[in-house]
């Protein structure tokens, strides 16, 4: 389970001159759950940015060919596709077999070199002006919640040879990697108050319990299987954006200097999950595949949303 840390520079991921010359934007979404009624070939959405972030639970890697076809369609439409594995990606497989299949996807002819698996992986774009760090970041389940999680969370039955203990071990490995990467890039940002470097973290599990979960779920004893309260800790000041999924709760909030966003579809029947036809009074918690994070030419960042008419 000890995976090497991977690092890619902008040159190796092929960012186009056109993207470098204009504002960069990242379309982001998660929890498409295309395994439900096998929607890999039918789910579609508009392209609103040159780069696509898929923050996990897109489907199951056990459905390899269908999963590959969905990603191939996206690779044909986007300059780069960044993929973080969610817990559902592992369903029907053991941990190592799922990682192997995910790495195999990167080498597929219709996916290479556009698909980038973010499994304890850092990618620097535009000469290091943008750093993307990604991993599943399994949550931490405390001893007091273990029985509730064992009785409620399907991962323990759906992922081969999985347990709460392995879940926590994977969380420790992911969190250790992420902290090490933040330590590595922080000095360059802190040395210059005028640094334009943007740091974007992508995980499947949520970095906060209170804001990242539905209000009615916050105090459930199994919520610790979905999120961990990481943001109060020291060390995340350099993170500009944090994209997450898993809680099926689309939202955005700010902690310190970090804007945390999610855009989660959840379990939707065939042909569901399309953009709403009209803007409601409050659709901040509504899944919309057109959502983007936009970074302007100076490196400053802002979360924006395509207008809904």
pLDDT in tens, 260-284: 999 999 999 875 544 443 444 468 8
pTM, rounded to two decimals: 0.89
Beta bridge partners of 294: 25, 302
For 97-123, what is each residue's pLDDT tens digit?
Answer: 999 999 999 999 999 999 999 999 999
pLDDT value of position 79: 98
Parallel, antiparallel or unpaired: strands 6-8 and 121-125: parallel
Cα 43 from Cα 41, distance rounded (Å): 6
Kindly write down the DSSP assignment for every residue of 39-102, as one continuous string. -TTT------SSEEEE-S-S--TTSHHHHHHHHHHHHHHSSEEEE---GGGGTTSBHHHHHHHH
- Which neighbouring-strand residues pair with 192? none
Number of C-beta neighbours around residue 108 at 10 A: 14
Q: What is the pLDDT of residue 276?
A: 45
Please write the tens of the pLDDT for every residue from 183-210: 999 876 654 555 688 999 999 999 998 8
Question: Helix or strand or coil: residue 124?
Answer: strand
pLDDT cut 90: percent of the chain above it: 69
Q: For residue 201, give the nearest of 258, 134, 253 by alpha carbon.
A: 134
Phi, psi of 304 (to 5 degrees): -130, 165
The reported pLDDT for the residue numbered 11 is 43
Choose the weakest-confidence range: 58-67, 124-133, 177-186, 205-214. Answer: 205-214
Q: Is the dihedral of CA 203, 207, 212, 216 positive or negative?
A: positive
Domain limits, the chain: 6-305
Region 6-305: CATH code: 3.60.21.10
């Amino acid at each position: 389970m000890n995976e090497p840390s991977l690092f890619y520079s902008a040159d190796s991921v092929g960012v186009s001159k056109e993207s470098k010359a204009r504002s960069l934007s990242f379309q982001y979404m998660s929890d498409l759950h295309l395994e439900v009624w096998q929607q890999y070939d039918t789910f579609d959405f508009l392209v609103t940015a040159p780069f696509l972030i898929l923050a996990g639970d897109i489907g199951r890697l056990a459905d390899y060919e269908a999963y590959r076809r969905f990603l191939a369609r996206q690779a044909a439409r986007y300059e780069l596709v960044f993929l973080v594995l969610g817990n559902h990606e592992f369903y029907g497989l053991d941990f190592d077999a799922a990682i192997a299949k995910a790495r195999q996807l990167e080498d597929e002819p219709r996916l290479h070199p556009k698909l980038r698996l973010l499994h304890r992986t850092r990618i620097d774009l535009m000469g290091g002006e943008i750093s993307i760090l990604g991993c599943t970041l399994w949550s931490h389940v405390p001893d007091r919640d273990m029985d509730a999680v064992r009785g409620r969370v399907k991962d323990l039955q759906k992922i081969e040879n999985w347990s709460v203990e392995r879940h926590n071990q994977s969380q420790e490995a992911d969190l250790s990697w992420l902290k090490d990467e933040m330590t590595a890039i922080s000095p360059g940002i802190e040395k210059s108050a005028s640094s334009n470097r943007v740091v974007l973290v992508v995980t499947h599990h949520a970095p906060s319990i209170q804001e990242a979960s539905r209000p009615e779920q916050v105090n459930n004893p199994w919520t610790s299987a979905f999120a961990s309260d990481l943001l109060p800790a020291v060390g995340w000041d350099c993170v500009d954006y944090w994209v997450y999924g898993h809680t099926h709760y689309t939202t955005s909030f700010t902690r310190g200097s970090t804007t945390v966003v999610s855009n989660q579809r959840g379990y939707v029947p065939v042909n569901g999950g399309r953009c709403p036809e009209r803007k409601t009074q409050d659709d901040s918690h509504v899944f919309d595949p057109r959502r983007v994070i936009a970074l302007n030419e100076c490196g400053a960042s802002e979360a924006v949303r395509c207008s809904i008419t």
